[in-house]
Chains A and B, each alone.
Chain A
Amino acid sequence: MQKKTRKERLIWLDIMITLLTLELMSYFYYGIRSVFLAGICVVTGFVAELVSLRFMKRSFTADDLTCTSDALILALMFPAVMDYHISVIAVLFAILVAKNLFGGRLNMIFSPAAAAFVFVLTSWDGQLLQYTEPHVKTGLFETPTNLVRSASYVFDHTGTFDHSDFEVLLGNFSGPAGAVSILLLVVAAIVLMMRRSISAGAFLGTIFGTGLFAVVTPMVSSRADSLKYSLVTNMVLFSAIYIVSDLRIAPKRDYYAFFYGLFIGVISYVLVLTGAKENAIVIVSVLFTPIALGFRHLEKKIDTAEQEHSEVNAGEAAVTAAGEEAASHE
């Protein structure tokens, strides 16, 4: 138990480190506003967690710090110039409604960040899906001007992507503050998988599903371009790491997690391809919650069956050994 508790904290630390590097990149492109937004989200998340734990009569432990990573994930999915009121409401929704109402980290059902993102999408899609260009630094309380649609939106609707590979790798294209730094995301994915802080099966499944369909039914004439841009746009990489592969939600066994991720990848790609649905992967990951729960239930049943089987085998072995011993004594 002690080991498990420690592990949860380490996972949070790993995730936070990778998120902070993304936030640093966001600061480079969008300035102090991006950091301030992230700070507001994290503080709101922390306070909401404290208050709700108090209502649930539970004490705050280091494991409950996951509320801050959830809030930071959400902040990184927003445009850097997102309205502060909306951000606060979104984080409150994530922590109070999508997480603690169902029992908090001990009984997770939804990814709090994903549920809150969809919540914002349904009420403030105009604010959520309009961004400033990189290197346009907006003051803390300045009203943003010259907002543009994301590069994902342009790609989904026109099939064009006017940025060099170098710009793509560094995240120098319009989109959510933290979900465009592709090089950092790739490094984060490798590190988190190696440290077992995300579900490798779910991550690889999502990438494989999206990639496979991007090659089989390409969005643009070149299959290589289709594969490349399908993975870097629509927050696919970011969501694959921080939402789909969330260890609290994804199936525990890599085998099942792979298929869980695969389905999410395939369905979200089809939605982008046929309906040009921006950031479909986040919506699909919320819709796939019952599937994740189903897989987890199945895993529990398999574990129980395996345990019973091993107990029976151990019992039989003990009886046989006792019988042999008795026979040798005779």
Chain B
Amino acid sequence: MALINILEAVNKTLEQQMEKDPTVVVLGEDVGYEGGVFRATAGLQQKFGEERSFDTPLAEAGIIGTSIGMAINGLKPVAEIQFSGFMFPAYNQIATHVARYRNRSRGKYHLPMVIRMPYGGGIRALEHHSESLETLFAHIPGLKLVIPSTPYDAKGLLTAAIKDPDPVIFMEPKRIYRAFKQEVPDEEYIVPIGKAKLVKEGKDITVVAWGALVREVEKAIKLVEEDGISVELIDLRTIAPLDRETVIQSVQKTGRFLVVHEAVKSFGPGAELISIVNEKAFLSLEAPPTRLTGFDITVPLPKGEHHFIIDPQRIAYEIRKVVRY
């Protein structure tokens, strides 16, 4: 066991998988010599050499496009996009090729590759460094999308992603990269893709969150518990394909549903979740399923970002509203 944060968990998982599987390679801008701007890949080039952990030219389409070729030809690339807001030049590759290669070749080729990218706001950053773009990946057939919220899950999900025969987008909540530590087993283990985690049982309302917001909901739960409200919290962990069963079972029990996400509201992941709740748990509902999300705006620069970031007070306010509907 080691007491480590999310960033260290990512780093140790990459190291472990590179050790176990000689076909795993790590690439991206500044990931090699420097070890990444967040240091997620620190030490890997020193340990495994430049052939397996390497810096790329500053070109996202090139990073993902060449990863496709490498995945077809016997390697398991783990590509880093430095910030999710800069993935757009690579989106052509992701949507038109990464997601489609298995289908296009009727199974002759498949892409065992992982695309890591830090995402989300709250780090007082420049423009394009704060986006939550889950929908843009979850909407594309052929992709999987996972987001850990703890060091334990970061290791288990990244291990699962690297071993997955299909391409996995691995979004990392950079706001909590170093926020807290957790005991994480040294040996290899998997957190299955497609399984949500019941973080806390409760009876009055189901709240679904992921990434950095799981901790914010936990803080909100403490606030509403003072009012006698019992919250069931689910950490979704996988956005695509999402674990409908865990969500539906919970809503059938609590009768109320709130999804909290930082991604903008319209056509966001919350819309999908609420549709599922309506389709599968309609008769259990005692209040309209509700979403608390980012506004439909560009994430503001630091002096305005406090309006955008969802804090525990707002979550508590929304929980009370749904419970008292």
A binds B: no
Binding site for B on A (CB under 8 A): none
Binding site for A on B (CB under 8 A): none
